[in-house]
Amino acid sequence: MTLRYNSQCVCETSWIPKGTAYCNFGDAFRVDGKCEKAIGYLNKGLAIAEKMGNQRIVGGMHGRLGSVFGRLGQYKRVIGHQTKCLSIARELGDRDMEVSACLSLGFSFQEGDQLSKAMDCYRKSISIARELGDGTLEGASLKHLGAICGRLGQHDKGNRTSSPASKSSKSSARGIERV
- Does 87 reside within a domain? yes
Confidence tier at 15 by pLDDT (50, 70, 90): very low
The answer to pTM > 0.85 is: no
| Domain final residue pick, 36, 58, 93 | 93
Q: What is the pLDDT of residue 16?
A: 53
pLDDT of res. 20: 78
> Which value, to the nearest 10 degrees, does the dihedral of the CA atoms of residues 92, 97, 99, 104 take?
-130
Mean pLDDT of 131-157: 90
In-domain check, residue 101: no
Residue 61: partners with Cβ closer than 8 Å, 6 or more residues away: 23, 42, 45, 46, 49
Q: How many domains does the chain have?
A: 2
Please return the burial class of 115, using the count of CB atoms within 10 Å of its CB with bins 0-12, 13-18 and 19+: middle
Q: What is the pLDDT of residues 69-94, one digit of tens each?
A: 999 999 999 999 999 999 999 999 99
The span from the CA of 132 to the CA of 137, in Å, is: 10
For the segment 53-63, the average pLDDT, to the nearest whole number, is: 92
Task: Work out the average pLDDT over 4-30.
Answer: 64
- Predicted confidence (pLDDT) at residue 114 exceeds the cutoff of 90: yes
Residues 53 and 121 in one domain: no
pLDDT(163) > 50: no
DSSP state of 54: -
